[in-house]
Amino acid sequence: MSIRLSLLALLVLLLAPNFAWAAGPDRIALVIGNAKYPDADAPLKEPVNDARSLADELKRDGFTVEVGENLTNDGMRKALDRLYGHIKPGSVALIFFSGFGIQSNRRSFMMPVDAQIWTEADVRRDGFSLETMLGEINNRGAGVKIALIDASRRNPYERRFRSASAGLAPVIAPNGSLVMYSAALSSVMSDNGGDHSLFVQELLKEIRVPDLMAEETLNRTRIGVTRASQREQVPWISSSLAEDFSFIPGARPTASAPQQPTADASPAPRVEPPAPPKAEVPPPPKMEAAIPPPPEPPVAKTPSSEATPPQPSLADDLIIKGLNQKLAENPDDASSLYRRGQVYASKGAYDLAVRDFSDTIRLNGKDVEAYNNRCWVRAVTGDLQPALRDCNEALRLRPNFVDALDSRGLVNLKSGSNKNAIADFDAALRLNPRLTSSLYGRGLARQRSGAASDGEVDINNAKAMDPNIVKEFASYGVH
């Protein structure tokens, strides 16, 4: 429900690429598995294993492969530069990325492990645009350009700004490109907890089948993922190949990689992601200064009342220590106060987060982000009247601020003001039709208002776009 909630990226482990470029066939691949993001709650389980397994397969298929694991911004930049430098006219160039990706301004960015994302502008600074990568490969003369992107995960950065949509965006690729995402556009998926992602499991099966054109290989992968996930995960493919290309252009020994049967390879019905909700609702009414008392007994204003309690290691957190040092040197460092508030909120230390956001507002009474963040934290902890005042002030300072509309929708939903909650969520969805928190919140408010069928549609669409949305709302005390 908030933009804002994660950790600053600090110390990261950069593993040296286990590769050396060598002369060979003009099949070149850069395979990246990024798993250790300090901003995430825990390392991702799948990317490194996926990268290693795919790299081994591509080497058997005649590719010269560089493998990068847990690459920083500098590491990704250097690895891409090496890839670009070894492309010859007519080469086949392939990029595989597994990790966190962010959609911003209708473009998809692959994130290094040390990305420090606080605003949308930071995405463009620290991330690597897929379109830019494909464009540079094309400029170097590659004949076939392939991008396999397994980055449709709900990432910690999206909490910090509402203009970011979930999942990845369609890519405008140069001619001769074949692009595949592991999930549908603007949708996210959860790691399956295994050694490999479902996408890579199916990709490895199909890539080992000789004499398949690359488009058919990826289409069969899409079918396999769709079936194995019972249509919960539907990969997205875009192709503008102008020449034939096969990963394995002829039969080969298959002792370690048996050929997969092809009898069941007929395409499954195409499954599209749910359409965004229509935005024909009139603007929300002006909210009164007070809200009616909630239908249930009021919740005590304590950090542990409705949400995750602070982690016991809070005092030892390296990020907080760094911010504490900055604030010891300059207690009026509003930027550090605001960021520390975000970190506290991400760890469930809501009383400390409110204190820091309040100090930020004391230093700058027009800090709309601080008002919005304090509104959200107070909403989560059940301090609803002050939360409403904060959201109203944020919207006074920045009318049609989608984050504050979404936060105020939560306040009204928890207070039992379902009509006002629907109006706020409607307004937020007009500005960002794929804002899953507003879509899910509106569904709950509609159900509570008696519009059960409309509410069910909203809830199902939100769950299809983000399978974690129910758990997220439960952490806010909303069921």
Domains of the chain: 27-239 (3.40.50.1460), 314-475 (1.25.40.10)
pLDDT value at position 267? 37
Residue 185, pLDDT above cutoff 90: no
Q: How far apart are CA 434 and CA 394, in angstroms?
A: 22
Tens of pLDDT, residue by residue over 89-114, are: 999 999 999 999 988 878 899 999 99
Binned at pLDDT 50, 70 and 90, residue 55 comes out as very high
Q: How far apart are CA 182 and CA 191, in angstroms?
A: 12
Q: How many of the other CB atoms lie within 10 Å of CB of 236?
A: 22
Q: How far apart are CA 437 and CA 443, in angstroms?
A: 10
Q: How far apart are CA 341 and CA 434, in angstroms?
A: 27
| Between 432 and 134, the higher pLDDT residue | 134
pLDDT value at position 260? 38
Q: What is the pTM of this model?
A: 0.54
- In the chain, the N- to C-terminal Cα span, in Å, equals 14
Q: Rounded mean pLDDT of the chain? A: 80
| Between 468 and 172, the higher pLDDT residue | 172
Q: How far apart are CA 141 and CA 263, in angstroms?
A: 37
Range in 6-10, 170-174, 258-262, 322-326 the model is least confident about: 6-10
**For range 123-137, the mean pLDDT:** 93
pLDDT value at position 330? 94
Burial of 33 (0-12, 13-18, 19+ CB in 10 A): buried
- Which DSSP letter does residue 189 get? B
Tens of pLDDT, residue by residue over 207-237, are: 988 888 999 999 999 999 998 888 889 999 9
Binned at pLDDT 50, 70 and 90, residue 345 comes out as confident
